[in-house]
Structure 1
Amino acid sequence: MLLCNVSALIPVWIICWLTQLNWPLLITTTLITVLLASYLSFRLSHTLVQGIKSLETGLLNFKDGELATLLAYNHNDELGQLCQLYNQTAKQLRQERQWIYQRELMLDKVLQSSPQAVLLRNDKGFIVYSNYSARDLFNAKVALEGSQFEQVLNNAHPQLSNALKRGNDGLFSIETEQQESQAWHLSTGKLLLNNQYHYLYVFKQLTRELSRQEVEVWKKVIRIISHELNNSLGPMSSMLHSGQLLSEKVNEPRLKRVFATISERIKHLNEFVQGYGKFAKLPTPQLSTLDWPALLEQLQSQWCFTLEINKDVKTVADPTQIEQLLINLIKNANESGSAAKSINVTISQDSKGTHISVSDQGKGMSEQVMANALIPFYSTKATGSGLGLALCREIVEAHHGQISLHNRKHGGLNVHVILPRF
C-alpha cells in the first residue's frame, strides 16, 4: 500500500510542479491521490492477504500438531491452488497419523499381553516404558514409567539385578520364595528414539520351555521302550499259552508254578507298559463343565480326605483327566505318611481361574526331591514308577494351567494347581 501511494504521488507532484499549482490545490490533489491509491491497493491486495493469513494459520496448526483444520480460501488463483494443496496434504497426514496411532495401540496391546517382560529406559536413567510382565518380574505394584532405573534395580531380585548390571545378553536364574528355580534369558539393545539413545531389555522365561523339551525327550524314550516291550510280550504270551497246553499232558507240579510266575510277570509288564503309554500319549483334553459334586463324591468313596469347596465353582476342563489328576495327588498324600484326617482338598475360584490345593502333614520334600519331583521316572518310593506327579504336570499343562509344590511350615506338602478360565 505504501509503494502504491508513493508510485501515484510522484507523477502527480511532477505535474503540479510543471503547472505551478498553488499550495491549497497541491494539498487537495495529494489527499485525493493518497485516498484513491490506498483504496485501490487495498482492494487488490485484500485477497492475497486473506490467503496468506489462512496459510499462516494452517502452518501454525501444523506446528501444534493440529491436522483437523482445513483452509476456507477457495479462490480460483495461484494462492487458491496452494491452499487446496495444503488441504489435501492435511487430509493425507491426518489419515497417516490415525493409521500410525492404531498401529501403536495394537503394538502396545501385544506388548502388554506378552509373557515376555519388556523394559525401556533412556540415557538419563529413567524408565519410559514397561509392560505388565515387567512389573510382575520386578514385583512392582504400580507402573514403572518415570522411575529411576537404579532404584528399580535396588528393589529387584539380586540375581535379576546382577544380570542387568552386567548388561550382556545371556541366561540367568531366579530362586523364588516357593523354592522354585526359574530360568530367564535377557536380551539387550540400544536404539535412537526422538534424538535420544534408549536401552531396551527383553526378558524371556525359559523354565516352561526347558521343562517342555525335557518332557518331550522322556516321552520319546517311553514310546521306544513301550514299543520294544510290546514286541517281546506278544510272542512271550503266545509261547506261554502253548507251553501251558503242553504241560497239561505232563504231571509236573513245578511246571505250573513256573508258568504261573511267568504269567504274573507278563501281566505286570503289560500294566507297566500301559501306565507309561498313558503318560507318553496323553490325549487332547475334551473340555466340558465339570460336575464337581459328582466327581468329589466318587473320590471320597475311594479315599479319605477333608474337602473344602466354594459355592458356584464353574470349571471347564476334561473330567477324566481332572479325575486322574486328583486321584494321583490324593494317593500321594495318603502315601506320604500323613493321617487321613490331615489330608485336605481345597477348591476355590477367582479371576485367574480355578485353584485346587491338596495338602497333607507327611514328611514333605527336600529341595533336591522337590526340584526333580515333576520329572518322569523320578521317585523316592521303592515301588514307585515316577509317573504320578509327571502325569499331573502333563494334565495341568495340557489345560494351560500351572502346578507347584510347596513345603508347609508345620510339616507336610501342599500341591497347588491353577486351571485358567476358558
Structure 2
Amino acid sequence: MMRRSLAGRLLLWLLPSLAAAIALPLLLHAWLQDSRLAFLLSALVTLPLLMLAVRRALKPMNALFRALSGSVNSYRDGEYNFSIHWRGSDELAELVRAHGELGDVLREQRQNLVQRELLLDTMVQNTPVAMLLVAPGGDGVRRVVFANLAARKLLHGGWKLEGQDFEALLGKAPVEMREALQRGGDSLFAVGQEDSEGDEQVYHLARRHFRLNGRRHELLLLRLLTSELRRQEVMTWKKVIRVISHELNNSLAPIASLAHSGSELVRRGRHERLEEVFSTIEDRARHLEGFIRGYARFAKLPQPQLQTVQWDHYLAGLQRQIAFTLEPCEPGLSSRIDPAQLEQALLNLLKNAHEASGDADMQQPHQVSVRLSRLPEWLRLEVMDRGSGMNESVLQNALVPFYSTKRNGTGLGLALTREIVEAHGGRLSLHNREGGGLCVAIQLPDSPA
C-alpha cells in the first residue's frame, strides 16, 4: 500500500475550501464591482466552510487520540487485552502500530512476571524457613504484611497471619523466641520443648530492613537448625573419637609391648636394659598425659578476664620468654585483653613460627618477627616466619580442630588460638608471605585505655 502523509491528507480536506476562498472573491468582485464588499462576503462564506472542513478532517484523529489516552490508562491499571485500528498508511498508522507493539511487549512481560511471581510464591510457601514481613500500619501498630506456611505453623498454629498485631503474636511466642526478636540483629536461640524430655530446638534468626512503597519494612527469617547441628555434632564426635583412638593406640601399643619385654628381661635376669624400657614407657605415658591435657584445656577454656595492657610492655615481656623481632610500631597502643590467655595463644604461634623456620632452640629472633599496627576500629597483630609456608589444602584446614600435619601434633594449637582470639571479639587468619613464609594475623577490637 502506498504511504500517504498526514500533511497530504489534511491538504485534500482543505483543498476545496482553499479553492472557494480564491474563486469566490473574484466572482463577487466581478458581480458587485466592490472589492471590499466582495472580500467581506467571501470571508463570511469561506470561513465556516473552512472550519467545517478542519473539523471533519480532525474528527477521526480526535477519536484516535481519545482511544490512545484510554489505552494508556488501561496500561496503568494492568489491562492489555485490547487493540486500536487506524485506516490509512500515514504517520498516525505508524503510531498506532508502535502502540500495539508496545501493548504486546507489556502483555508478554506481565505474563512472565505473573509466572515468576507464582514460582516465587510456591518456593516461599514451601521453604522450611519461616518468613515474616512486618510493617507499621496506619494506626502505628506493627502488623504482619506477609507470612509463609512455615511462619503460620510456628507462630499461629497454621492460621493466617496477615494483618495480625506483631507485638500480640510475640506475647504468645516462647520466651526465648520473644527475647531474640526483641533484641534486634541476627542471633541463635534455643527453645525448650515442654512435651519432650529436656530436648531443645535451635533456631537462627536473620532480620533485614528495607523501604517498600515509602514505608519501612522488616523481614524476619527463622530457620530451624536442630537437625543440622545434631548432624554436625555427631560428625565432630566421630572425628574426636577417631583422633583419640588413634593417639591412644599409638601410645598404649608400645607401652604394652615394652611392659611385656620388661617382664621377659626380669624373668631372664637381664636387668641392665630395664632402665631403658622404663624410660621409654614413661615418655609415652607423659606424651599421652599431655595429649589428654590439651583436649581438656581446649574444652574448658574460661571466659577472658579483660584487663587494659600496654602493648609495648606486654610484647617486651613476651620477648623474654621466646625470641622474635618486634617491628617498629605506634607508641602507646593499648587494648583490653586477658593477658594470660593471649600470651598462651601468642606463645603457641611463635613456637610454630620457630619450628617452621627450622630454629629448634627458638633463640634466633631474625627468623621470626611480630608487627603491631592500628586499623580503623581494629588492632592487627601479625606473627611472621620465613619457613616454607602452607599449600592451599593445609591453609583451608589449618584452623579446623584435630587437623595437624605434624607427626606428633594434636591439631589443637591453632584451634585453641582461634578460640581465644574469637572470645576476645577478634578474628584469626593465615596467609603465605611473598618471598616465602607464613603470616598469622590476629585482629582485636580497638579499645584504647
Specify the TM-score bucket, using the shorter chain as the normaliser: 0.3 to 0.5
TM-score normalized with structure 1 length = 0.47
Taking structure 2 as the reference length, what is the TM-score of the superposition? 0.44
